[in-house]
Amino acid sequence: MSFNIPAIIEGYAKGYFLMADDTGQNITWYSSRQRTLIPLDERFRYPKSLRRQLNQNRFSVAINRAFPAVVEGCANRKTTWISDELKQIYWALYQSGWAYSFETWEGDELAGGILGIVIGGVFIGESMFYRIPEGSKVAMVKLVDRLRSHGFLLFDAQMMNPHLERFGAYVISNRAYQNLLKLALQRQCNFLDVD
């Protein structure tokens, strides 16, 4: 199955995001009156319990080492908006250099990961999951470090939940989001650059 990748990227660049409906049969573009952002400044925080995990260097970090496994992990829940067709879209975006999996590993075991789309200086977080406790939380902290060091302006988490709130996530209006998005899209950031 082939997808119109430029049209999909254009949709994300305009502030829309893809989701499957409740039946899992239809994929539709969605927008929201409010957007949730993960701060890339001093407002970012994380639970104190994570400091120990970070100090122990229990998890290593990788990008795209197991992209299909991260997509499956994100989709593997009782109710999911990641349908089989959306998995194929993510795979096509990955093959085209737009979609990434930011992963934590404990030895040779995938501990957790964040699925995202990168356009300019924007990281659009589509979903996250963990197999080992703290795996996705460590991925969040390490991902923010990477986005900061690579000059990213925007970490779009789309919709708020209690988990994201613990990291300092905040909500802005769609108008404010669109203004930030325009600025971030003008940046030339390479997510894969070596630190």
Provide the pLDDT for residue 122: 98
Measured CA to CA in angstroms, residue 133 lies from 33, 50, 58, 101, 190 at distances of 33, 11, 12, 18, 30
- Reading the block at residue 127, the tokens are 């979903």
**Among 92, 63, 86, residue whose Cα is nearest residue 74:** 86
CATH, domain 5-185, list 1.10.260.40, 3.40.630.70, 3.40.640.10, 2.30.110.10: 3.40.630.70
User: Across all residues in the chain, what is the average pLDDT?
Assistant: 93
CA gap 147, 56 in Å, rounded: 22
162 has pLDDT over 90: no
- Reading the block at residue 75, the tokens are 């989709």
80 has pLDDT over 90: no
What percent of the chain is modeled with pLDDT above 90?
75
Provide the pLDDT for residue 1: 58
pTM exceeds 0.85: yes
Boundaries of every domain in the chain? 5-185
